[in-house]
Amino acid sequence: MTSIPLLIANAPTPPQGPAGILASPLFMMGLMIVMFYFLLIRPQQRQRKEQQARIAALQSGDKVVTSAGIHGIVHNVKEHTVVLKVAEGTMIEFDKLAITAVHKKDAAK
């Protein structure tokens, strides 16, 4: 009976090297957060900045598509709104944030 505690006391301990750190739940959570940032958050921020730059560069004559799917030509650009010509004699005023796609008038040439 006295030899059992000695065997337990002399039992090898599991390695605590790099494999122990990689198996840590905190390390895995941190790795997941970093992956989410680079796969989801960063590309979405880049798209938002590009969209804001396109809206800031709106000029009269640009063809645009709104979030409602209305195609029109920019007639007038105001501080927060854009007046679109959707048909001959028909002007509609939209918020700038409603513009989803911009086709520059110079790109058609």
32: which 2 tokens? Answer: 């997941």
Q: Is the pLDDT of residue 108 over 60?
A: no
How far apart are the C-alpha atoms of 95 and 78, rounded to whole Å?
Answer: 9
Distant-in-sequence contacts of 95-98, Cβ < 8 A, 24+ apart: 96/55, 96/58, 97/55, 98/66, 98/67, 98/68
Map out the domains of the chain as residue ranges. Answer: 16-56, 59-109
Instruction: Provide the β-strand partners of residue 92.
Output: 84
Confidence band of 98 (pLDDT split at 50, 70, 90): very high
pLDDT tens column, 10-48:
656 555 555 667 778 888 899 999 999 999 999 999 999
Specify the pLDDT at position 92.
Answer: 95
pLDDT tens column, 43-85:
999 999 999 998 899 999 999 999 999 999 999 999 999 999 9
DSSP 31-77: HHHHHHIIIIIHHHHHHHHHHHHHHHT--TT-EEEETT--EEEEEEE
Question: What CATH class has 59-109?
Answer: mainly beta
